[in-house]
Chains A and B, each alone.
Chain A
Amino acid sequence: MQDIVKVAHLTKRFNQLTAVNDLSFTVRSGDVYGFLGQNGAGKSTSIRMLLTLITPTEGDIEFFGMSLNRHRKEILQQVGAVIEKPDVYKYLSAYDNLKLFARLSGMHPSRAVLMNQLEMVGLAGRANDPVKTFSQGMKQRLGIAIALVHNPGLIVLDEPTNGLDPQGIADIRNLILFLSREKKKTIIVSSHLLNEIEQIATRMLIIDKGCKLVEGATSELLNSTQVVLQLNTANNSQTLKILQGSSWADRLKPMRDGQLILGLNRNEIPELNRFLVGMQVEVLLLQPRNNLEDYFLQITAGKQHVDAFTN
């Protein structure tokens, strides 16, 4: 598969603060590339560097095999982006905004083309209404329509579900999947919401404090033999004491929502079950958790930091 984005040793320092530190990653054609990290991890700074809004202190960025430094204009012609909030001109209508940004992208699309674009994001019925009357979700969808108006091969979405209600989040998720599967777009999507990325990303990168923690295919990363196990018993406090006094003590992780959490190898689960039954523990639930939240828990050592991430 062709490399669409290739980032090497990207670093950004603001005076004493290193926001992004030696970050390298590759986005391939057809990827929905999840860019994960808690707030302040350096996601937005990285994305802004990809879009030339922020100048890197060090590092190289290539799009479509071209250096961003030398071929900025050619590259940006093939990239559409929504950065954080979907800000548009509030005193203009959705249609006028779309037309204006199309012209800025060097396009002169017909009304039919623009209306098709609005139809795709579900805004055709509100095309002539001023954007100031739109909900956050509608603005987000308009932002995506603007990002798509010049038919780019790569779409960059920075925190596209921020501030949206559950329906808005589902709409954006479905739109991203539609763009990936039906329109064959390569998409980079950043988020601090792990479950969102888990549902849409084919590959992902997790960053923390500006540094790369891990990069790879979502399916491979989540199918690790190491699992986080959720354990619920009739008396969790008593069970905790039993486990702390046993050889399973070093597998214990901080409790979450009153439930016991253990990190262990998948093939150790039956053995744990036998141990608990042998200790007269009444097991109500013994379930491997195989999601990004737990994956993040496994690869990061700082527990407080994980709690902040998952809350």
Chain B
Amino acid sequence: MWTHLQIELYKIFRRPRTYLAFAAITALIAVIQVGLFMDGKEYTEFVMADFEGSFSVDGKILNGYFICYVILQLLLVHVPLLIALIAADMISGEANMGTLRVLLTKPHSRSAIVLAKFMASVVYTLLLLIWIAVLGLFVSMWVFGTDDLFLMKSSYVVIVKESDVFWRYAGAFCFAALSMVTVAALGFFLSFFAENSIGPIVATMSVIIVATILSTMNIPIFNTIKPFLFTTHMITWKEFFDFKVNDANEAIIGSIQNPDKIIRSSLVLVAHIIAFVGAAVLVFRKKDILS
């Protein structure tokens, strides 16, 4: 299994396509950072316009933590495409190249091959998330400095103390990783049904788009299925930035307002991952290789 995983990672990272995703992430984050560095003042004034006169803010709103939050909000919508580029190609790409049949004549069980390939997709996904964290969080902290995190929600404002922010980002990135691994599992599963990678990549994105629409539309007929859609739970990373308050309406440092929601969402995502990968193993074990 370990040898297989090493070989799969070797194949992934010897392909130029793999680095496109890292280059795209770098470019996107750089655009956001440069934009906010140049015109951040106007941006925060625009965002704060609704609160003008209600209260004044001391300190630096446009700090590294705030930039990272903006980046996460924008990027986590687009990262699934970059993950699908690799995950949805894992089997279909090999079938297209003709290497799948060579691979399967080697003395390994099909289940071991599937699991090694999925693990390689997970490693790629995690590296992509780590790269986002390095650029989005650490570079932003270095360029913009640090201060309290000021977040504007739909009907209220959240100010997270500087000393209380970093662990929340750690949690948010871990949760985002779980969400993206779910996307990888979906793409991976769909890659078993085609002999070129375009179909599974488009199918993965289509499923995500449709499920996201169903998750966000507030129509009664869809409300019953919403809790079971993985897209409903992919944005739960934001829960790490809502905290409990005491009787004096002061933030309780180190608290999360709704930890049960994070646990529930995590379980739903894990269930999806198990279902997608389990189905992939079952399909592949019985599949006739005709490519």
Give the interface of A toward B (CB within 8 A): 14, 48, 51-55, 72-77, 79, 81, 83-85, 87-92, 96, 100-101, 103-106, 143, 146
Contact B288 A55 (CB under 8 A): yes
Give the interface of B toward A (CB within 8 A): 3-4, 7, 10-11, 14-16, 97-99, 101-109, 286, 288-290
Bound form: Cα–Cα A146–B211 in Å: 44
- Give the chain A neighbours of B108 by CB distance below 8 A: 73, 104
Contact B289 A54 (CB under 8 A): yes
Contact B98 A85 (CB under 8 A): yes
Contact A146 B16 (CB under 8 A): no
Chain B: which residue is nearest A73 at the CB level?
A: B107
Q: What is the distance, in angstroms, from A52's C-beta to the closest C-beta of chain B? A: 7
- Give the chain B neighbours of A53 by CB distance below 8 A: 101, 104-105, 288-289
Given contacts A75-B107, A143-B102, 9 further A-B contacts (CB under 8 A): A53-B105, A54-B288, A74-B107, A81-B105, A88-B99, A88-B102, A91-B16, A96-B14, A104-B4
Q: What is the distance, in angstroms, from B102's C-beta to the closest C-beta of chain A? A: 6
Contact B102 A48 (CB under 8 A): no
Contact A48 B289 (CB under 8 A): yes
Contact A100 B289 (CB under 8 A): no
Given contacts A53-B289, A55-B288, A87-B102, contact A73 B3 (CB under 8 A): no
- Give the chain B neighbours of A76 by CB distance below 8 A: 105-107
Task: Enumerate the 3 nearest inter-chain pairs by beta-carbon distance, A residue then B residue, closest first.
Answer: A87-B98, A76-B107, A53-B289
- Give the chain B neighbours of A88 by CB distance below 8 A: 99, 102
Which DSSP category, helix, strand, loop or mixed, fits chain B's interface? helix
Which of A14, A73, A87 is within 8 Å of B109, CB to CB? A73
Q: What is the distance, in angstroms, from B33's C-beta to the closest C-beta of chain A? A: 33
Given contacts A53-B289, A54-B288, A146-B102, contact A106 B107 (CB under 8 A): yes
Bound form: Cα–Cα A265–B105 in Å: 46
Contact A104 B99 (CB under 8 A): no
Bound form: Cα–Cα A289–B99 in Å: 41
Q: What is the distance, in angstroms, from A13's C-beta to the closest C-beta of chain B? A: 11
- Give the chain A neighbours of B10 by CB distance below 8 A: 100
Bound form: Cα–Cα A84–B14 in Å: 26
Bound form: Cα–Cα A79–B105 in Å: 8
Bound form: Cα–Cα A199–B103 in Å: 31
Contact B16 A104 (CB under 8 A): no
- Give the chain A neighbours of B109 by CB distance below 8 A: 72-73
Q: What is the distance, in angstroms, from B270's C-beta to the closest C-beta of chain A? A: 30
- Give the chain B neighbours of A87 by CB distance below 8 A: 97-99, 101-102
- Give the chain B neighbours of A79 by CB distance below 8 A: 105
Q: What is the distance, in angstroms, from A298's C-beta to the closest C-beta of chain B? A: 33
Contact B11 A51 (CB under 8 A): no
Q: What is the distance, in angstroms, from B122's C-beta to the closest C-beta of chain A? A: 20
Q: What is the distance, in angstroms, from A267's C-beta to the closest C-beta of chain B? A: 49
Q: What is the distance, in angstroms, from B64's C-beta to the closest C-beta of chain A? A: 38
Bound form: Cα–Cα A76–B105 in Å: 7
Contact B7 A83 (CB under 8 A): no
Which of B15, B102, B286 is within 8 Å of A91, CB to CB? B15
Contact A55 B7 (CB under 8 A): no
Contact A52 B103 (CB under 8 A): no
Chain A: which residue is nearest B11 at the CB level?
A: A89
- Give the chain B neighbours of A100 by CB distance below 8 A: 7, 10-11
Q: What is the distance, in angstroms, from A144's C-beta to the closest C-beta of chain B? A: 12
Offer 14 A-B interface pairs, CB within 8 angstroms, sorted by A: A48-B290, A53-B104, A53-B289, A72-B109, A74-B107, A76-B106, A88-B99, A90-B97, A92-B14, A100-B10, A100-B11, A103-B3, A104-B4, A105-B107
Contact B101 A101 (CB under 8 A): no
- Give the chain B neighbours of A48 by CB distance below 8 A: 101, 288-290
Bound form: Cα–Cα A106–B1 in Å: 11
Q: What is the distance, in angstroms, from A123's C-beta to the closest C-beta of chain B? A: 17
- Give the chain A neighbours of B105 by CB distance below 8 A: 51-53, 76, 79, 81, 83
Chain A: which residue is nearest B107 at the CB level?
A: A76
- Give the chain B neighbours of A72 by CB distance below 8 A: 107, 109
Bound form: Cα–Cα A89–B12 in Å: 11
Chain A: which residue is nearest B289 at the CB level?
A: A53
Bound form: Cα–Cα A113–B104 in Å: 24
Contact A89 B290 (CB under 8 A): no
- Give the chain B neighbours of A73 by CB distance below 8 A: 107-109
- Give the chain A neighbours of B101 by CB distance below 8 A: 48, 51, 53, 83, 87
Which of B97, B103, B104, B286 is within 8 Å of A55, CB to CB? B286
Q: What is the distance, in angstroms, from B226's C-beta to the closest C-beta of chain A? A: 39
Bound form: Cα–Cα A51–B103 in Å: 11
Q: What is the distance, in angstroms, from B133's C-beta to the closest C-beta of chain A? A: 29
Bound form: Cα–Cα A184–B11 in Å: 34
- Give the chain B neighbours of A146 by CB distance below 8 A: 102
Bound form: Cα–Cα A81–B3 in Å: 21
- Give the chain A neighbours of B14 by CB distance below 8 A: 89, 91-92, 96
Which of A52, A84, A90, A92 is within 8 Å of B104, CB to CB? A52
Bound form: Cα–Cα A106–B4 in Å: 10
Q: What is the distance, in angstroms, from A103's C-beta to the closest C-beta of chain B? A: 6
Bound form: Cα–Cα A157–B252 in Å: 70
- Give the chain A neighbours of B99 by CB distance below 8 A: 87-89
Among B10, B104, B105, B108, chain A packs the most CB atoms within 10 A around the CB of: B105
- Give the chain B neighbours of A101 by CB distance below 8 A: 102, 106
Among A72, A87, A91, A92, chain B packs the most CB atoms within 10 A around the CB of: A87
Chain A: which residue is nearest B109 at the CB level?
A: A73
- Give the chain A neighbours of B11 by CB distance below 8 A: 89, 100
